[in-house]
């Protein structure tokens, strides 16, 4: 059967960004049965024993309570499970000195759905046919932003400023405020902090500056804090969550051990929350309640925040240190390679300046030596202009074993050296010094 699709149907039925790559990776792993691959592509968090135990205990508490039947056998409120909303409000009010009420919080089936609601509530064409843009102030950023808008031309991204530390082979992306435009044509602003895929953390000053640019136009600024504090607290550098005004703090419990339960949390202005709640009511009535019920227990007790800082954060921070140390030891010093500063998330991001082949070709060659990464060009949603940098980066997951990460980085370094050496650029390896 080949049904006719509408314009929206055609847009939503296509794989976007990294999802198309993941389909190729799945087929590679299936075809390579009997062959050992080091898979450094996964965004699926590892199952940590202490985290799993927390959710087991929260589940046991729910099963033993009189609330169980009400949670799983009845419909709930579109805004979310009230005990979870109350637990979030109380925790954040105490932790950050806020004055949240239940009207400032919305629970969604994962944060991806939250961005879908916002992108289509605030981005796209108005009744007067004015195009409202979804502004991504800094690329690269989360690949999923490329698939949330039913009007794809509404997504607009800006190139970053590259803050280089060439002798140390490190760099960092920063917003380029000389290029960034937020105006009457902007519907909303969206970015991740810490960032998937790079691990970048925008400074408090940069975040406040973006919010200030949007405020005169009453533009919501959605900060994707799927890796931020207080849970899962996958920030490796100090950072302060930003609240209030036109800022919407968006969270996910996926990297805190509940990816299968799809729990997103939005904290923001009451009117914006109300709009997004209406969108959710029309789409799916409400989020699943079982995951919300166990999350309410883990947040209210303080156990989730404790495990985030004592178990989840140090586990992945150590993984990044292995990537960093192994590349420093294995990559030739005179090659123009740069690792993004490891400031958070569960990935590392490698830029190979003047790479003689594309990131997709590098991905294919790495598969031949048994290593799977994700080509970086998947992570530039909304960037219209050509930029060779897009084809010079790869994302490396921190979800493999310590040994696999070390071996994978050694193999990557060996292959990268061969690629530069066999190209016409091999005589220019001293470019790092410039």
DSSP single-letter state for residue 344: B
What residues pair up with 277 in beta bridges, in sequence order? Answer: none
**Same-domain pairing of 293 and 344:** no
**Same-domain pairing of 35 and 56:** no
**Same-domain pairing of 392 and 288:** no
Task: Specify the pLDDT at position 33.
Answer: 57
Tens digits of pLDDT across the chain (434 residues): 889 888 878 877 776 666 667 777 788 877 765 578 999 998 889 999 999 999 999 999 999 999 999 999 999 999 999 999 999 999 999 999 999 999 999 999 999 999 999 999 999 999 999 999 999 999 999 999 988 999 999 999 999 999 999 999 999 999 999 999 999 999 999 999 999 999 999 999 999 999 999 999 999 999 999 999 999 999 999 999 999 999 999 999 999 999 999 999 999 999 999 999 999 999 999 999 999 999 999 999 999 999 999 999 999 999 999 999 999 999 999 999 999 999 999 999 999 999 999 999 999 999 999 999 999 999 999 999 999 999 999 999 999 999 999 999 999 999 999 999 988 554 555 444 34
Of 277, 306, 335, the residue that ends a domain is: 306
Domain count, the chain: 2
What residues pair up with 300 in beta bridges, in sequence order? Answer: none
Task: Specify the pLDDT at position 25.
Answer: 79
CB 189 within 8 A of CB 137: yes
Nearest CA among 204, 181, 198, 180 for reference residue 143:
198
263 vs 219: CA distance, rounded Å: 25
Residue 380: give the domain boundaries: 8-47+312-422
What residues pair up with 135 in beta bridges, in sequence order? Answer: 156, 189
Task: Specify the pLDDT at position 15.
Answer: 67
Of 261, 290, 306, the residue that ends a domain is: 306
Q: What token pair was written down for 158?
A: 């800006």
Tell me the whole-structure pTM to 2 decimals: 0.94
Cα separations in angstroms, 308 against 92, 94, 154, 311: 15, 18, 36, 6
**Same-domain pairing of 64 and 114:** yes
Does residue 434 sit within a domain? no
Does residue 428 sit within a domain? no
**Same-domain pairing of 150 and 28:** no
Does residue 1 sit within a domain? no
CA 205 to chain CA centroid, Å, is: 21
Cα separations in angstroms, 62 against 65, 293, 307: 5, 7, 20
Residue 240 φ/ψ, nearest 5 degrees: -115, 120
230 vs 309: CA distance, rounded Å: 8
Contacts of 243 (CB under 8 A, 6+ apart): 92, 96, 98, 249, 267
Task: Specify the pLDDT at position 91.
Answer: 98
Task: Read off the CATH number of the domain in which 292 is found.
Answer: 3.40.640.10
* Helix, strand, coil % over all residues of the chain, rounded to 5: 45, 15, 35
Nearest CA among 87, 101, 181 for reference residue 134:
181
Task: Specify the pLDDT at position 432.
Answer: 47
Task: Read off the CATH number of the domain in which 362 is found.
Answer: 3.90.1150.10
430 vs 434: CA distance, rounded Å: 8
**Same-domain pairing of 321 and 193:** no
190 vs 197: CA distance, rounded Å: 15
Contacts of 423 (CB under 8 A, 6+ apart): 356, 357
Task: Specify the pLDDT at position 14.
Answer: 74
CA angle (153, 155, 156) in 5-degree steps: 105
CB 190 within 8 A of CB 381: no
Report the C-alpha dihedral over residues 37, 38, 41, 43, rounded to 10 degrees: 110
Residue with tokens 């490796």: 236
Nearest CA among 325, 323, 327, 286 for reference residue 399:
323
């Amino acid at each position: 059967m080949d049904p006719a699709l509408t314009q929206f149907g055609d847009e939503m039925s296509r794989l976007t960004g990294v999802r198309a790559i993941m389909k190729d990776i799945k087929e590679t792993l299936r075809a390579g049965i009997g062959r050992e691959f080091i898979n450094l592509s996964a965004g699926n968090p590892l199952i940590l024993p202490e985290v799993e135990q927390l959710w087991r205990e929260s589940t046991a508490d729910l099963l033993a309570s009189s609330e169980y039947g009400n949670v799983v056998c009845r419909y709930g409120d579109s805004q979310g499970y009230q005990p979870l909303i109350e637990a979030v409000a109380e925790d954040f009010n105490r932790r950050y000195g806020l004055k949240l009420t239940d009207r400032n919080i919305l629970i969604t089936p994962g944060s991806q759905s939250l961005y879908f609601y916002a992108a289509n509530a605030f981005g796209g064409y108005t009744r007067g046919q004015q195009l409202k843009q979804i502004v991504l102030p800094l690329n690269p950023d989360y690949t999923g932003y490329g698939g949330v808008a039913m009007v794809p031309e509404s997504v607009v991204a800006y190139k970053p400023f590259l803050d280089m530390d060439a002798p140390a082979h490190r760099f960092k992306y920063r917003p380029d405020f000389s290029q960034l435009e937020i105006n009457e044509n902007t519907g909303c602003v969206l970015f991740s902090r810490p960032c998937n895929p790079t691990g970048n953390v925008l400074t408090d000053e940069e975040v406040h500056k973006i919010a200030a640019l949007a405020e005169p136009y009453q533009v919501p600024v959605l900060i994707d804090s799927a890796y931020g504090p207080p849970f899962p607290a996958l920030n490796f550098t100090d950072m302060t969550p930003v609240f209030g005004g036109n800022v919407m703090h968006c969270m996910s419990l996926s990297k805190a051990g509940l990816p299968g339960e799809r729990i997103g949390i939005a904290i923001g202005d009451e009117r914006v929350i109300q709009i997004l709640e209406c969108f959710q009511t029309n789409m799916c009535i409400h989020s699943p309640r079982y995951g919300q019920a166990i999350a309410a227990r883990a947040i209210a007790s303080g156990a989730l925040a404790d495990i985030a800082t004592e178990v989840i954060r140090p586990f992945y921070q150590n993984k990044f240190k292995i990537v960093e140390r192994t590349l420093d030891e294995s990559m030739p010093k005179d090659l123009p390679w740069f690792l993004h500063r490891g400031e958070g998330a569960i990935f590392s991001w490698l830029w190979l300046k003047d790479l003689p082949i594309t990131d997709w070709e590098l991905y294919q060659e790495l598969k031949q030596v048994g290593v799977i990464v994700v080509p970086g060009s998947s992570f530039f949603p909304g960037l219209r202009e050509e930029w060779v940098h897009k084809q010079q980066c790869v994302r490396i997951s921190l979800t493999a074993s310590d040994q696999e990460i070390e071996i994978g980085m050694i193999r990557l370094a060996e292959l990268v050296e061969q690629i530069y050496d066999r190209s016409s650029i091999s005589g220019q390896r001293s470019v790092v010094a410039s």
